Amino acid sequence: MSTPTEPAVSNNEKLPHEDNDNNGMFVRIINKSKVYPLEEYAHSEIRNDHINEKVLPVELGESRKNVTVPKQQKSLFRRNFKETLILSAAILTIALSFVAVTVYYILSYSRPELVYTNMIWRHGDRAPAHYFPNFTEKYMIAFPRGIGNLTKIGAEQAEHLGLLLQRRYIHPGNITSKQIHIRSTDVHRTIETAQHVLKGMSFPDTRINVELTTNVDTAGNPFFDCPVATQFVLDQKEKYFLRENFSEIYELMQRELNYNSYSYYLFDTLNCLKAHDLALPDWLRSEELYEKLKFLSWHGVEAQFGIGPYDNKLQRKIRGGSSLRGIVSRIACKVNYSEWSSVDSCEEKFYGLSAASFFDDFFIAWIM
């Protein structure tokens, strides 16, 4: 059996898989140009320029730089985010600390424990206290609750006062309803005022005891019936009426109202009409008339209390002594001053007196 032998090849012949370089050297290569063309042998149309193209050093540096920039940006973002987070946490901590200190300060210092409060207030806005036939009735549509009674505005004023007192004195744990004592004179408008004050203080359902009315109501009522005080005013009547000096006023009252006694009643009516912005008759519009009525009314007040030109110590004690003693005795009870024994209990922390007239609180301030 013969052994296969390679065919003889001459120097001038080329096998399909052989090629000759420029130097005439016979080089045996594997022709893979159709699949993986090399740069030297592959046809330009099928050459993979992107894979085999040579990368210059400058292009390589820029490529690495382009890859590095996003990494640097990402690292910078992380670092900035971390710093921002730390700064935000620090600011939040400081803010919370400030709020905590502020709340502590408010709770500790702005609402101290209430020891005792004693107050006198006048009733709210009311209708005229005196009725003049053929005159007052024209204006009663503006005062549907009746002569001398509290108006809607007066009720709102009293409730607002109660709200102010509640904000200032009535705090949780500071006072209870049993430590609040509010008294009123035996006048409908002052009783109503006391009720609305309690409503504003958030005690709307407080029981009102009206079964203790006495014949002589002294506390908060400077005009209670006292024969001695009444006689003193009668003795001064002609003096403080000043009829000779203001005869035209009394003549006007007689002509328009068929009344020529206490000028205060007309002054009070005029005040109420002006306060409610009601149209006045021509004879009552004069500012000079208003000032004269005011002057005459004030003289009557001085005579009632024994002050000014009608100075009388006994009269002052009768008219203002009861209310003043009530204030002093309650304060003395809170400081354990045993000489005063007119107060049954010292447990109360708030005492309010709803009075019928500004004369009472004015007079107490005057004699003190």
For residue 96, the cross-strand partners are: none
Which strand ranges, in their side-by-side order, compose the sheet holding 117-122? 117-122, 350-355, 180-184
User: Quick check: 5 pLDDT over 60?
Assistant: no
pLDDT at residue 61 is higher than 90: no
- Integer Cα distance of 87 and 349 in angstroms: 50
> 46 falls in which pLDDT band (50, 70, 90)?
very low
d(CA 357, CA 234): 20
Mean pLDDT across the stretch 291-314?
Answer: 91
Topology at the third CATH level for domain 116-368:
Rossmann fold (3.40.50)
Cβ 135 vs Cβ 272: under 8 Å: no
What are the tokens at 323?
Answer: 């209310």
What's the average model confidence in pLDDT over 175-204? 87
> Given this model, what pLDDT does residue 209 score?
61
Query: Which has the higher per-residue pLDDT, 10 or 274?
Result: 274
- Using one digit for the tens of pLDDT, what is the confidence trace for 220-231? 677 778 899 899
Q: In the predicted model, what is the mean pLDDT of the chain?
A: 76
Q: Is the pLDDT of residue 47 over 60?
A: no
pLDDT number for residue 18: 45
Mean pLDDT over 208-214 rounds to 56
**Residue 311's pLDDT is what?**
93
> Of the ranges 110-114, 190-194, 281-285, which one carries the lowest mean pLDDT score?
110-114
Token pair for 200: 């504003």
Q: Residue 58 is inside which H or E element, if any?
A: helix 57-105
* Mean pLDDT, residues 278-301 taken together: 93
The candidate with the shortest Cα–Cα distance to 33, out of 46, 19, 24, is 46
Q: What residues form DSSP beta bridges with 183? A: 353
Residue 213: pLDDT over 80: no
Is residue 217's pLDDT more than 90?
Answer: no
Confidence check: pLDDT of 24 > 50: no
211 pLDDT tier (thresholds 50, 70, 90)? low
**pLDDT on residue 101:** 78
Confidence of residue 74 (pLDDT cuts 50, 70, 90): low
User: Does the pLDDT of residue 60 top 70, yes or no?
Assistant: no
| Rounded Cα distance, 346 and 116, in Å | 10
User: At how many degrees (to 10) do helices 287-305 and 358-367 cross?
Assistant: 60
Phi, psi of 223 (to 5 degrees): -110, 25
Q: Please report, in angstroms and rounded to a whole number, the separation of the first and last CA atoms in the chain.
A: 155
Give the number of residues written for the chain: 368
Residue 340: per-residue pLDDT:
57
Sign of the torsion formed by the C-alpha atoms of 33, 35, 36 and 39: positive
Highest-pLDDT range among 74-88, 173-187, 298-312:
298-312
Calpha distance 214→266 (Å, rounded): 30
Closest CA to 343 of 364, 325, 360: 325
Residue-wise pLDDT for 94-119, tens only, equals 888 888 877 776 666 555 678 888 89
Lowest mean pLDDT among 19-23, 207-211, 318-322, 331-335: 19-23
- What was the pLDDT predicted at 33? 44
pLDDT over 50 at 268, yes or no: yes
Q: What is the pLDDT of residues 8-18, one digit of tens each?
A: 444 444 444 44
pLDDT, greater one: 222 or 6: 222
Asked if 331 contacts 320 with a C-beta cutoff of 8 angstroms, the reply is no
3-state secondary structure of 105: helix
Average pLDDT over residues 163-183: 84
Contacts of residue 324, defined as CB under 8 A and 6 or more positions apart, other chains included, come to: 364, 367, 368
* DSSP string for 305-327: HT-GGG--HHHHHHHHHHHHHHH
Give the model confidence (pLDDT) of 123-151 as tens digits: 999 999 999 988 988 899 999 999 999 99
10-19, 112-121, 253-262, 344-353: least confident range: 10-19
Residue 321 has pLDDT above 50, yes or no: yes
Cβ atoms 320, 309 nearer than 8 A: no
Chain-centroid distance of CA 183 in Å reads 28
Residue 147 is encoded by which pair of tokens?
């002569």
The percent of residues in the chain predicted with pLDDT above 90, rounded, is 32
For residue 116 the two structure tokens come to 């005792």
